[in-house]
A and B are shown apart, each in its own frame.
Chain A
Amino acid sequence: MYRAMTATPLSQIRNFSIIAHIDHGKSTLADRLIQSCGALTAREMKDQILDNMELEQERGITIKAQTVRLTYPAKDGKTYILNLMDTPGHVDFAYEVSRSLAACEGSILVVDASQGVEAQTLANVYQAIDANHEIVPVLNKVDLPAADVERVRAQIEEVVGIPADDAVEVSAKTGLNIEGVLEALVTRLPPPEGNAEAPLQALLVDSWYDPYLGVIILVRIKEGTLRRGDKIRMMQAGSTYHVDQVGVFLPKMTPVDSLGPGEMGYINAAIKTVADVAVGDTVTLDRTPAAQPLAGFKPSIPVVWCGLFPIDADDFEKLRDSLGKLRLNDASFHFEAETSAALGFGFRCGFLGLLHLEIIQERLSREFNLDLIATAPSVVYKMHMTDGTQEDLHNPADMPDLAKIEKIEEPWIKATILVQDEYLGSVLTLCSERRGIQMDLTYVGNRAMAVYRLPLNEVVFDFYDRLKSLTRGYASFDYQMDGYEESDLVRISILVNQEPVDALAFVAHRTVAETRGRAICSKLKDLIPRQLFKIAIQASIGSRIIARETLGALSKDVTAKCYGGDISRKRKLLEKQKEGKKRMRQFGKVEIPQSAFLAALKMD
């Protein structure tokens, strides 16, 4: 079934992103918009229908931005095409938001009327303003008794700094006033611009791997027209493809004959080489290419790195292939091959944050059936060497000899924390324990807003968990990178029987080095099963030992029972153990299973 695009006039198209702090109801509002435009029947509908990843449903969060094309007969008698992009709220998925914003002309800013403005509300609004978006504020969850519309309206004006008297009051849950949102969209957001006859310029917004269809890409047409059968060219990559199918999301994938300016849709062009697809690239026609590519996206810069190693060494190639496919669907994630003496062959992977890291690991295990070990997350340090050169350090194990280092700089962040007054004290203590510097402390309604500069290094080390537990989950937290500063940092090595375990090395500020070194040694002592010989577990800075634990030899390990003459059973058991030893690492006279490191690396 092909639907001919009866070239909708640009004036009847609206492209918008739904943005908000996490959990303020973006995906639920998208549900109601889809429903009231009749895109899905009641039977097809379910909660947060756009969160189609299993992981999203389980955790109740959006991870991937999603696009839907809706048809809305407005009060002015015209029928509009609405391209909706639901975005994630969590800061770690901000790259999804920024790409969606680039594909739209306007945004709906959802604010939970019972919670008010939160850290990520601010961050997302500023991004939308940077993208020159027209913004429609929506006050959601007005059905809740705690909803305080007037207070939140005032907050939006004061804190966010955008007018809010005509903010639309809705309940995405009950469906109250969804019509109001739709009307605001068509009356208050600008239509897209573009010329159907111009050379094609389509922005590559997203891509993913479909086991049946291969690589699928999502584009926003800026100029020109794209038709089934066209030969397209990726302007950056230079590769060309024959378009097998173009289509739109209704929200089901539905083929169409063509896509014109202002429209969004997918392309299936039998693209085999995953590496040829880069979000931000411009798709044009091979025969009549555009003169200039579009501006594209700022590349995302990972702020946290960790090693990912297959538990089964034979899975290395499968891991490489899976990472490639996953990266297609998540451009904010980076990887490069790495070898570890303790863990074998794997990849050093970069992420936008710890949740991102966790989600990628989960997706690898679920979507690609891989069992992995992740090493402790590390930030990127800038090393200034005595010979005048400069290096980025992604992996503490690679830290050069201290004598060769002139100075080390570490990344800082500017963090915004909103928290109830009663928890403010403990939050301030936590920040100062983590070497934070207070920049600002104001009140937003009855909540305090603390702005801190913090070393990112301190934040990747269980900061979220501590913040959550100190505030019973009530604090909201957002950060942006805020430059590099010189710091008195040291690399702490962990030694097992005098041999360094590369995967456990970490960098910390000198003042906390000993405490953390001791903590890891004692944790390892509990995690490594007792062995035939006693084991020394040490932490060191350079050649100086700062912590030491001894794990005694196991005291008894022999099966008393005899098996009559069944020696084969015992021998086969031994031979199987030998096979298992491929997964062990020799430390002098002891062998430690990788699983012990796995446990040790799961540091909170």
Chain B
Amino acid sequence: MHWPFCLAKCPYCDFNSHVRETIPQERFASALRKELAHDAARTGRRPLRSIFFGGGTPSLMDPETVAALIEDASRYFDAEPDLEITLEANPTSVERAKLASFREAGVNRISLGIQSLDDASLRFLGREHSASQAIAALETARSLFARVSFDLIYARPGQSLSEWSGELDRALSLASDHLSLYQLTIEQGTKFEALYRQGRFHLPDDEQAARLYERTADIAGRHGLLPYEISNYARPGAESRHNLTYWRYQDYIGIGPGAHGRLTIGDDLLAIRRHRAPEPWAGRVEQGGCGSTEEIPLSAEERGREALLMGLRLTEGISCAAFRTRTSREIGECLDPRILDAALEEGYLTFDRERLIATREGRLRLEALLSALVL
């Protein structure tokens, strides 16, 4: 469920987030419910494993809306007993009472956008909260929820190995069993892109980025959090089920402006995308029940590519059997044999009858590996 509003736009962010003087809560609440109903009608009853309120800043939603959407979903689908319901929260909009109402509504996992534990870095990142506010928000969340994760952005301009090690150590001492640790990337159309192009700041070079990445895995590992995806670290068993669904290339419905879905309807696997702009999206939903701008059946080749792009991000790699079922292709058919051989020899990949796995060395260079490897 995508909630497209934020209090302010962060200079690095290219997510579908918009700032409005007043958020039209009711209109979006009913549009989200309507679009969910629309998709539920065409899928029929299916098992429901996770719900994710992402954004934007879903902690700006009225808890009643969250409650209503969870209720709807539970009615339309067969919720698994340990249904995971995550809500992304921003430290500036999580008073204790509100978090408690989210828990009332059924949310059982919180993902907090902390970004940094250093005040100067938070200012650089354009965040409206301080490190101590972020820590307070985290403590509140942990007191209310059994499962709390938070996001940090590292490989920031000028960041040294030792600075980051210190910050990460502190973060791990505050963490429960899950962390998302993203290296800063410059995204098109953001304020950071303009500044970066003007040379107003520099990013660590590839080698420094690689060192930071390796150090991150070492430190997280010492605290018992293992990387299960490029940027995600968890105590075994505490992985985000929702994100695993994307990476394992399974079905998901995407509700809300700019949301994406992969949905099996009949024999087709549909790539669904909703209108990005909040109000036009809502307009479409109000008119026809559905805000889609694209619903395209994916060919076997496209499925193969997507499954590879997602699956190789995971430490567990890709199951050959699951790949075959999902894409009607063999993994081997989708790969350039020369690159496969070279990558196996170089130790970027392992491949047996069960699984294709990108090793840590392979995952470090995944973009280059995929672009050469995937046919």
Contact = CB atoms under 8 A, between A and B. Distances in A.
Interface of A: 530-533, 553-562, 564-568, 570-571, 574-575, 577-578, 588-589, 591
Contacts of B365: 532, 553-558
Contacts of A591: 372
Given A532-B339, A567-B262, A570-B306, 10 more contacts: A532-B348, A532-B365, A533-B346, A554-B368, A558-B363, A560-B230, A561-B187, A571-B309, A578-B371, A589-B372
B193 to A, nearest CB: 14
Q: Of A533, A556, A575, which is in contact with the most chain B CB atoms at under 10 Å from its CB?
A: A556
Given A561-B231, A589-B339, A566 B368 contact: no
Contact of A567 (B15, B182, B207, B306): B306
B259 interface: yes
B273 interface: yes
B109 interface: no
Given A565-B254, A574-B309, A589-B342, A559 B367 contact: yes
B271 interface: yes
B260 interface: yes
A574 to B, nearest CB: 6
Contacts of B155: 560
A443 B262 CA distance: 84
B252 A565 contact: yes
A532 B372 contact: yes
Given A556-B364, A560-B231, A533 B371 contact: no
A35 B230 CA distance: 75
Contacts, number: 106
B46 interface: no
Contacts of B230: 558, 560
Contacts of B346: 533, 553
Contact of B206 (A555, A560, A566, A570): A555
B182 A560 contact: yes
B289 interface: no
B168 to A, nearest CB: 14
Contacts of A567: 246, 249, 260, 262, 271, 306, 309-310
A514 to B, nearest CB: 31
B364 A558 contact: yes
B364 A557 contact: yes
A566 B213 CA distance: 24
Interface in B158-210: 181-183, 185, 187, 206-207, 209-210
A65 to B, nearest CB: 46
Contact of A560 (B2, B185, B259, B341): B185
Contacts of B306: 567, 570-571
B105 interface: no
A426 to B, nearest CB: 38
A559 B230 CA distance: 8
B82 to A, nearest CB: 21
A387 to B, nearest CB: 40
Interface residues of B, number: 51
B18 interface: no
Q: Of B254, B305, B339, B372, which is in contact with the most chain A CB atoms at under 10 Å from its CB?
A: B372
A415 B273 CA distance: 70
Nearest to B371: A577
Contacts of A554: 206, 365, 368
A365 B64 CA distance: 64
A558 B217 CA distance: 15
B54 interface: yes
A561 B309 contact: no
Contacts of B122: none
B353 interface: no
Contacts of B343: 532
B181 to A, nearest CB: 8
Interface of B: 2, 15, 54, 155, 181-183, 185, 187, 206-207, 209-210, 213, 229-231, 243, 246, 249, 252, 254, 259-262, 271, 273, 302, 305-306, 309-310, 338-339, 341-343, 346, 348, 363-372, 374
A565 B309 contact: no
Nearest to A553: B365
Going nearest first, the 9 A-B pairs with the smallest beta carbon separation are A556-B210, A589-B342, A555-B210, A560-B183, A558-B366, A565-B260, A560-B182, A532-B368, A560-B231
A562 B342 contact: no
B128 to A, nearest CB: 21
A561 B364 contact: no
13 contacts: A533-B346, A557-B364, A559-B185, A560-B155, A560-B181, A562-B246, A565-B252, A567-B249, A567-B260, A567-B271, A568-B271, A578-B371, A589-B372
A556 B262 contact: no
B210 A565 contact: no
Contact of A565 (B259, B338, B370, B371): B259
Nearest to A568: B271
Given A554-B365, A556-B207, A562-B231, A533 B342 contact: yes
Contact of A574 (B243, B338, B370): B370
A37 B261 CA distance: 79
Contacts of B309: 567, 570-571, 574
Contact of B207 (A555, A568, A571): A555
Nearest to B2: A564
Contacts of A560: 155, 181-183, 185, 230-231
A555 B204 CA distance: 12
A553 B370 CA distance: 15
Given A562-B231, A589-B338, A574 B374 contact: yes
Contacts of B231: 560-562
Contacts of A571: 302, 305-306, 309
B39 to A, nearest CB: 14
Contacts of B209: 555-556
B338 A556 contact: no
A553 B54 CA distance: 37
B8 to A, nearest CB: 19
Contacts of A559: 185, 367
B159 to A, nearest CB: 14
Nearest to B336: A589
A566 B366 contact: no
A595 to B, nearest CB: 16
A336 B2 CA distance: 60
Contacts of B363: 558
Contacts of A557: 206, 364-368
Nearest to A576: B371
A2 B366 CA distance: 73
Nearest to B12: A561
A554 B206 CA distance: 7
B305 A561 contact: no
A528 to B, nearest CB: 14
B189 to A, nearest CB: 13
A514 B364 CA distance: 37
A571 B303 CA distance: 9
Contact of A532 (B183, B271, B369): B369
A247 B310 CA distance: 71
Contacts of B342: 533, 588-589
Given A530-B206, A571-B306, A589-B342, A562 B364 contact: no
B160 to A, nearest CB: 17
A556 B182 contact: no
A566 B14 CA distance: 13
Contacts of A531: 368
Contacts of A562: 229, 231, 243, 246
A577 to B, nearest CB: 5
A568 B243 contact: no
A531 B374 CA distance: 16
A554 to B, nearest CB: 6
A575 B370 CA distance: 11
Contacts of B187: 561
Nearest to B364: A556
A534 to B, nearest CB: 9
A564 B366 contact: no
Q: Of A532, A533, A565, A574, which is in contact with the most chain B CB atoms at under 10 Å from its CB?
A: A565
